[in-house]
Copies of this chain bind each other. A is one copy, B any other.
Amino acid sequence: MKSKPIRLTGTSYAVLALIQEYGEATSYDLKQMLETSIENFWTVPHTTAYEEPARLAAAGYLSARQEEGGRRKRVYALTDAGRVALAAWAAEPALAPPQLREEALLKTFAGGDPRPLLGLRIDWHREKLAELEGYLAGFEATEGMERSQRTLIAGVGYHRKMLELMEWLAEIAEADTGLP
C-alpha cells in the first residue's frame, strides 16, 4: 500500500488536517475550505486542492473513492497512515520560521510610492476582516469553541494586526514627506 515515498510539506499537512476535520472531501470541498479558513495563515494556490490530495493518495496517506456520473469527483478520506503522520507532525513542537511575502513593502523598498501601495493593502485587509467577522458571527452564542471557530479567530487577529501595521507605516510615510 505504501507505493511511492514522498516528502510531506506543510501544505501536505494542511490538506490532511482539513480532511481530518471533515471526515472526507472532494478537491472542490478542499478548495473552499482552504479559501475560507486556512488561507489566512497558510496561503496556497487553488491548484493545490487538486494536486496535493492526488499526491497524498498515491503515497498511501489518503484513500480515494471515485464517484460516478457528471463530474466524476473523487472523494478523499484519511487512511491510518495519514492519521498517524498528521498526529505525529502536529505533536512535534519544532517549527519552521514563518514566511511572509508582502509585495506592498517590497515595492516600497524598490522605490515605489508608499501611499497608494499601503492604501491598497489597507483596503484589502479591511475587506478580509469584514468577511471573516461575518463568518464568525454565525458562531455566536455557542459555548466552548470549535476548531473552525478558533481558526477564524486566528484569521481575524492576523488581518487586524496587519491592518494596524499598514496604517502605522502609512502614517510614517505621510509624516516623512521630504523624500530622500
Q: Which of A96, A104, A112, A151 has the most CB of B within 10 A?
A: A112
The distance from the CB of A25 to the nearest CB of chain B, in whole angstroms, is 15
- Which of A66-74, A87-95, A130-138 is the interface stretch? A87-95
Within the complex, which residue of B20, B43, B146, B180 is in contact with A99, where a contact is CB–CB below 8 Å? B43
Nearest chain B residue, comparing its CB with the CB of A114: B150
A137 CA to B18 CA, complexed, in Å: 44
1/0 per residue A98-111: CB within 8 Å of B?
11111111111111
Does A139 interact with chain B (Cβ within 8 Å)?
A: no
What is the oligomeric copy number?
2
Given known contacts A43-B100, A111-B87, A112-B91, is B106 in contact with A38 (CB within 8 Å)?
yes
Nearest chain B residue, comparing its CB with the CB of A91: B112
A93 x B110 contact (CB < 8 A): no
B98 x A121 contact (CB < 8 A): yes
The distance from the CB of A176 to the nearest CB of chain B, in whole angstroms, is 6
Nearest chain B residue, comparing its CB with the CB of A143: B178
The distance from the CB of A19 to the nearest CB of chain B, in whole angstroms, is 11
Which B residues touch A117, using CB under 8 A? 93, 95
